[in-house]
Amino acid sequence: MSPKQNRIEQAGPAGNIPLMCRLRMLPIATLFLLAPLCPVFSAESSYLEQEKAVLARIKSPVFPAADFVITDHGAKAGTDCSEAIAKAIEACHRAGGGRVVIPQGVWLTGAVRLLSGVNLHVAEGATLRFIPDPKKYLPAIPTRFEGMELIGLSPLIHANGQENIAITGKGTLDGSADAQHWWPWKGNKKHSDGPSQKADRDRLDQQTKDGIPPKERLYGEGHYLRPSFVETNGCKNVLIEGVTLTNAPMWVLHPLLCVNVTVKGVKVRSHGPNNDGCDPESCRYVLIEDCVFDTGDDCIAVKSGRNDDGRRVGIPSEDIIVRRCVMKDGHGGVTMGSEISGGVRNVFVSDCVMDSPNLDRAFRFKSNAVRGGVIENIRFRDIRLGQVDKAVLGVEFDYEEGANGPHHPILRDVSIERVTGEACGRVVAINGIPGATISGIRFADCRFKGVRNTDLIKDALPPAMERVEIERTSAK
């Protein structure tokens, strides 16, 4: 059977999503991720009905009323508590689940591995501070770096193939990344001291092109690809609620190949390189609500794998709701891409506030002719923009490799309704590439004030504008 027959088909028209029914031929892991396989939407259903249908499928996990306090397992403030935390998690898991409690105080640790049934509860007044020594994140494990599969350093908190897991509480998770730790591996002008990720990143990219199996892509000790802060890989029923996360090495929250994820009431304040706030990648049924994002990169970036890896795995991100969030600094408020090769569909964003002179774009789509990917059925509504530096809508199909590839990306069926803005560089900035499709973008009932520049549209159809008011001001 061809690779295309072994995964969800590309979506047809908006809301009409045909699915393969060759269940006996699909791997068990794929069945787990894609279940249920019946279509969620009919072609006639309204956007709000679609959103309600998605929301009805997202349920937070429930845990037994049992606490496992890390101090009962040997944790002592000011020392490395990795072993005590691991013991508490194992005891909780073996007992059938409950809360592993990080009490008030400052606690040091290396990598934390969550197991099924465990709610890692960071109490109010508690800080779980991760030791910035790469050796604390060994052994290397299966993960992704920028959408490419590898065996790499463990994320600071990770779970692989687990069910009913959570991170909750009003405490703080501190990744301890700064200008001396983790961030210099990016190798940019701001963080340039010490080793750089460039050689490893280039080699990993070439390995994906050459079809080297992921288990042979080894990037553990002695390599410089930064780990994500929190990564749940191939998990079901995930809750992250209430915590504050700061100083991440790279991506902050990274649900990967997960089903049924809730991110609620979380505060992300992390301004390092590639510090995306929340990056659901190849996930289905995701709710992100009542969160605050103040980041060094995209606040939220929906992804589905990079280049040949993304096409080989072939699992889109779909059925995602973002609501009542605040986006401050960042490259994009809600972004799709650039690791988008598996596709993205059915994303509903509503009732958010996006406001900062350091927020580049409110809504951002990025890909190129190497990434490819189909992005469709995307809904933005009832969103208040204060200041946005560059554009309300940014489409960057000229990102990185640009037109230099055979995989032409597709963006279609995007609605932007009842959005208001106080100041922005321009309303629309679309940079298409020859052969790509950018169509079916619609603004309705919007008002934008303080717009400094006219729209920029290249290699694309212009968006439809229905009852849209634009008040221009002199460019500064």
Ramachandran bin of 85, using left for φ above 0, alpha for ψ from -120 to 50, beta for the remaining angles: alpha
- Prediction pTM value: 0.91
Q: Per-residue pLDDT tens for 123-154?
A: 999 999 999 999 999 999 999 999 999 999 99
CB 390, CB 361: distance < 8 Å: yes
Q: How far apart, in whole angstroms, are the C-alpha atoms of residue 217 and residue 141?
A: 11
Predicted confidence band of residue 475 (pLDDT cuts 50, 70, 90): low
Q: Per-residue pLDDT tens for 225-252?
A: 999 999 999 999 999 999 999 999 999 9
Does residue 98 surpass a pLDDT of 90?
yes
- Percentage of the chain beyond pLDDT 70 is 89
Q: Which range is most confident: 39-43, 189-193, 392-396? A: 392-396
Does residue 446 surpass a pLDDT of 50?
yes
Comparing 30-44, 114-128, 459-473, the range with the smallest average pLDDT is 30-44
Q: Per-residue pLDDT tens for 146-188?
A: 999 999 999 999 999 999 999 999 999 999 999 999 999 998 7
Contacts 24+ apart (CB under 8 A), 99-106: 99/63, 99/66, 99/67, 99/68, 99/168, 100/68, 100/70, 101/67, 101/68, 101/69, 101/70, 102/70, 102/126, 102/128, 102/169, 102/171, 103/69, 103/70, 103/71, 105/77, 106/77, 106/78
Does residue 474 surpass a pLDDT of 90?
no
Q: Per-residue pLDDT tens for 7-61?
A: 322 333 233 333 333 333 334 344 344 444 444 444 345 889 999 999 999 999 9
Catalytic option among 73, 254, 331, 407: 331
In 330-405, alpha helices (H): none
Q: Give pLDDT, residue 191.
A: 61
Pick the CATH number of 67-354 from 2.160.20.10, 3.40.50.300, 2.70.50.60, 3.40.630.20: 2.160.20.10
Contacts 24+ apart (CB under 8 A), 1-8: 1/25, 3/311, 3/312, 3/314, 4/314, 6/30, 6/314, 7/34, 7/314, 7/315, 8/34, 8/314, 8/315, 8/316
Q: How far apart, in whole angstroms, are the C-alpha atoms of residue 225 and residue 223?
A: 6
Catalytic residue status for 158:
no
Comparing 10-14, 83-87, 342-346, the range with the smallest average pLDDT is 10-14
Predicted confidence band of residue 194 (pLDDT cuts 50, 70, 90): confident
Q: Give pLDDT, residue 2.
A: 37
Domain boundaries, the chain: 3-44, 67-354
Q: Give pLDDT, residue 12.
A: 30
Catalytic residue status for 297:
yes
Predicted confidence band of residue 438 (pLDDT cuts 50, 70, 90): very high
Catalytic option among 174, 297, 308, 413: 297
